Structure 1
Amino acid sequence: MTAPSDQTPTRITVRAERTYDVVVGRQLLGELPGLLGDKVAKVLIIHPESLETTAEAVRQDLIEQGYEALLAVVPDAETAKSAQVLEFCWQILGQADFTRSDAIVAVGGGTVTDLAGFVAATWLRGIAVVQIPTTLLAMVDAAVGGKTGINTPEGKNLVGAFHSPQGVLCDLNALETLPKWDLIAGLGEVIKIGFIADPVILDLVDAHADDLANWPNVTDSTWAVLTELVQCSIQVKADVVSQDLREASLREILNYGHTFGHAIEQVERYGWRHGAAVSVGMVYAAELARLAGRLSEQDVQRHRETLAKVGLPTSYRGDRWQQLLTAMHRDKKSRGSMLRFVVLDEIGKPGRLEGPDPSLLASAYAEVADAAPTTTTLL
C-alpha cells in the first residue's frame, strides 16, 4: 500500500496564545525549517526507538539546513510519559546548553507529543516545539491544541501544562506503516469528534467502515476518505481550541468518553490502547445520558454500531467497578468529590452532567459490562 502523493498540503490555523498552522499532506519534511524559523540554533528531536530511522532522517535534514540537531530516544507507548523520562530529557537539554532560542521536535505518537510538549513547556519556562505526529490518534488529537502532560501512578495526564506548538506537520505518508489496530484505535478519536460536533464524520465512517477496517490493504479512495476524516477532525479541534485554549468551558467537550476511558487505562495499567478505552468510554457516557433522560436509545445504538463497525470495543469487563469509580474521581473535570461528565443531548450537541446519582453511574456500568473479560488485538 502506498499513499497517493499528488496532493497540495492543507493548512488549518489554530489561534491560541500564538497562532500556528497544522499542515496536512504528504512529504512535508521541507516544511519544518519554516516552522522553526531562522532564530533557532539547536533542536532536540524526541522520538521512540521504533522511529529511529525517521528521526535520523529529520536530524540529517535539519543539519543540512544549518541547525545543530540532537536525538533523544524515549520508550514506546505510555511508558514514555513518566517523571523519569521527563528528567532524562531535561538532562540532555541542560548538558547541551539549550536556551530559550532553541527548540524541540517531537516525532511519534500521542505519548511522545504529550511528553515532548511538556518538556518544551517546562524547560526555561517554555521553549518552542514542533509536533510531527506519526499515528492517526496523534494527528487528530494529541499533537493539536497545546495540551501536554505526563502520567503518575495516581492517574493519566494529572501533571501537565498548556503550551501551544510552533506548528504541526501531519504527514499522511507516516500512516503507511501504521499497524492495523493502531489505525483503528485512532478512529476512536475521529468518531468522538463526529459525535460531539460533526455528524458528517460518522456518516463517512459508516459508509467506509469495511474499507477502513481492512487496513492496510486499502485503495486510493479509502486514502481519500481517511484524508478527509483527518482534516475534518483537526478543523473541529482547531475551532474549539481557538475559542478555549485552557479548557475553561467549551474545550471540555473534547473529553467525551475520556472520564471512563482514562479509568479503564489506569485500571488496565495502560495495557489498552487509548482509542479503544475511549470507545468504551463513549458508550458508557451515552448510556449515562440515556439513563438521565437526555439521550435517545436510537443515539445510544448509533454509538454501539458505528464503533463496532470498525472493530472498536463497546464493552468492558464487569468485575472492576470500584476500581473504575476510584479512578474516575481523579479525573481532571471532577470538582472536589463531584464527578462531571461530558454527555450528549443529541448527536452533535454536547453538554455536561454534574454529580450524577451513584446508582445512575452503576447502572450505566452494567450496560457496558461484559461477563467475560475482553480480549482483542486492540489491547
Structure 2
Amino acid sequence: MSRSFEVVLKKVVDHSYAIEIGEKLFPSLIRDLQQGLVPGVSKFAVITDSSVEPLYGRPLVELLRRHNFAAELFAFPAGEKSKTRETKALLEDQLLSHSYGRDCCIIAVGGGAVTDLAGFLAGTFGRGVPSLNYATTLLAAADASVGGKTGVNTPVATNLIGVFHQPRKVYIDLAAWRTLPVRELRSGLAETIKHACLADAGFFCYLEENIGRVVSPDGELILDPEICEEIALRNCRIKYGVVQQDEHESNLRQILNLGHTAGRALEAVSGYELLHGEAIAVGLVIQARLGVKLGYMTCDEADRVTALLQQAGLPTEIPASITNRRLVDKMYTDKKVRSGQIRFVFQEGIGAMKRFADGSYSVPVEEETIVALLEELRG
C-alpha cells in the first residue's frame, strides 16, 4: 500500500522590467538604486570583460562606492571563447571568496557575452539573485540584453547550457557605441536586420534607407543619434513582442532563431573567429536562399536581404576554409533539432515568419536539401 501527497505550487510571477535607452546612463542607474530598484541588496558585483573594464567597469564601481554602495569589480577575458562553464565557475569562486551571498545583485556591463554569462551566474548563484544589464554594444542592445535567455558555450555547441533569468532593468547606453570597433558595430547590425526580416517590413525599408547613417560603406562609424535611438527602440519592441508571448521558447520564440541554425554552427566551426553577427549574417543568407527553394519567399526578397547585409558591411558567403560537411554536422547540435532532424525557421517574405500546418514555426529540412543549397551558394 502506498500513500501520496500533492505539492501545489501554482503562482503568478511578474517578470516585468524597464528598458532605458539614452546616452551616459550611469546617473540613472545610481538614481534607480537609491530609489529601491533592488531592495534588500547589501553588495553589488559588477561583472564585465577585459575590453569594457577600463571604459565602463571601473568607472561604475567607483561611482557606486562614491554613493555609498558596496561594490566590487569582476572581469574575464573578452570574447565568445571565454563564455564557458569554466569562466562562470571562476567568477562564482571569486564572488564566494569575497563573501558574496544571496543579498547581492549582479550588474552585467558589456556586450552579449557579458550579459549572457553574468545573467546565467545571477540565475544560479544563491539559487538566483537580482541582476541589471548595462548594454554597451549594439549586439547586446539588439539581442542579448532583452528576453532573459542566458547561457554559456560548450565544445559541442553554443548556448546549450543556461537558464531563463530576467533582469530587473536594462540600460542601453548609445554613447558606448562610439567606443566600438567597426566590426563589432556591424555584428550588432546583423541581429537588427534579423529582427526586421522576421517582424517588420517597414523597419526593413527604414534600414535600407538609413543604414549608411550608422556605418559608411568604407567602414567609418557615423552613428547618427536619431537613427541609433530608433534602431535600439525598434529592436527592443520587436524582441519584446515575441518574448511577451513565449517567454520560455515553447514555440513562437523560435522565430528569434532566424539565421541561427546555420549561423551558430558557422560561429562554432570557425573557432569563434567569426563574430556572432558575422556568422548570423551568412546564416540569414542561407535561410533566405533555402526559403526560395522551398517556396517561402521570392528570389527578389532574398536578394534584398543579401543586399542589406552587404550594405552593412557584413559577410554573406561561407568562408572557403569551412567545408559543407563540417557545417552540416555542426547544425545537428542546434537546440531546435528533434529526432535527429535539422530544423529551420523561415521568413515568409520580408517582415513575417512562416507558420507551418502543425502550428510550429520550425520545420525539419532534409540534409540532402541543405547540402545541395550550400554547394549552389559556393557556385
Distance 1:183 1:217 in 2: 8
Instruction: Report which stretch shifted further, 347-356 or 237-246.
Output: 347-356
Distance 1:277 1:359 in 2: 22
- Which deviations, in whole Å up to 9, do the C-alpha atoms of 1:32-83 show, x marking residues without a partner? 2415434211011111122223111111121123221011110101122112
Find the partner of 2:365 among 338, 342, 356: 356
Q: Give the C-alpha shift of residue 328 in structure 1.
A: 0.6
Q: Deviations over 1:145-203 (max 9, x none)?
A: 11100111001111111100111100111111111111111100000000000122221
CA deviation string 1:218-263 (max 9, x = no partner): 27xx221121011101111112111111101111111100110001
User: Which residue number in structure 1 is paired with residue 332 of structure 2?
Assistant: 329
User: Would you say the 8 A contact 1:283–1:368 is kept in 2?
Assistant: no
Matched ranges for 1:52-63 at <5 A:
52-53=53-54, 54-63=56-65
The one of 195, 198, 220 equivalent to 2:197 is 195
Secondary structure at the counterpart of residue 213 of structure 1: coil
Question: Which of 264, 267, 288 is equivalent to 1:265?
Answer: 267
- The answer for the alignment partner of 1:26 in structure 2 is 23
1:80·1:112 contact (CA, 8 Å) conserved in 2?
no
| Equivalent in 122, 128, 133 of residue 131 of structure 1 | 133
2:149·2:163 contact (CA, 8 Å) conserved in 1?
yes
Select between 157-166 and 29-38 the one with higher mean Cα deviation.
Answer: 29-38
Residues 156-235 of structure 1 mapped to structure 2, 5 A cutoff = 156-214=158-216, 216-218=220-222, 222-235=224-237
Match of 2:8 in 1: none
Distance 1:79 1:140 in 2: 21
Structure 1: gaps spanning 5 or more residues: 1-14, 371-379
Secondary structure in 1 aligned to 2:20? strand
SS class of match (2:333): coil
Query: May I ask how many residue pairs the two structures share in their alignment?
Result: 354
Deviations 1:282-322 (A, max 9, x none): 11011111111221111111111111111111111355111
CA distance in 2, matches of 1:229, 1:45: 27
Closer/same/farther in 2, CA of residues 146 and 264 from structure 1, 3 Å limit: same
Matched, 1:239 2:236: no
Q: Distance in 2 between matches of 1:93 and 1:188?
A: 34
Is the partner of 2:158 in helix, strand or coil?
A: strand
Q: Distance in 2 between matches of 1:287 and 1:250?
A: 22
* Structure 1 outlier segments of 4+, above 3 Å: none
Asked if 1:50 corresponds to 2:51, the answer is yes
Q: Is the 8 A contact 1:42 1:103 kept in 2?
A: yes
TM-score (norm 1): 0.89
Q: CA deviation at 1:143?
A: 0.9
**SS of equivalent to 1:160:** coil
SS at match of 1:303: helix
The 1-side partners of 2:306 and 2:51 are apart by 33
Q: For residue 377 of structure 2, what is the amino acid of its counterpart?
A: V
* Shift in CA distance, 217/262, structure 1 to aligned 2, threshold 3 Å: closer
User: What one-letter code is carried by the residue in structure 2 that aligns with 1:32?
Assistant: L
Aligned CA-pair RMSD: 1.7
Equivalent in 340, 345, 348 of residue 342 of structure 1:
345
Bigger mean CA offset, 312-321 vs 127-136? 312-321
Which letter maps to 2:222? V
Normalization by structure 2: what TM-score?
A: 0.89
Residue 347 of structure 1 aligns to a residue whose secondary structure is coil
1:97 pairs, out of 90, 99, 112, with 99
Query: Whole-Å Cα distance in 1 between the matches of residues 377 and 282 of structure 2?
Result: 8
Q: State percent identity of aligned pairs.
A: 34
Instruction: Name the amino acid aligned to 1:218.
Output: I
Instruction: Give how far 1:125 is off.
Output: 1.3
In our comparison, the structure showing a higher alpha carbon Rg is: 2
Unaligned residue ranges in structure 2 (runs of 5+): 1-11, 355-360
**Larger deviation, residues 355-364 vs 261-270:** 355-364
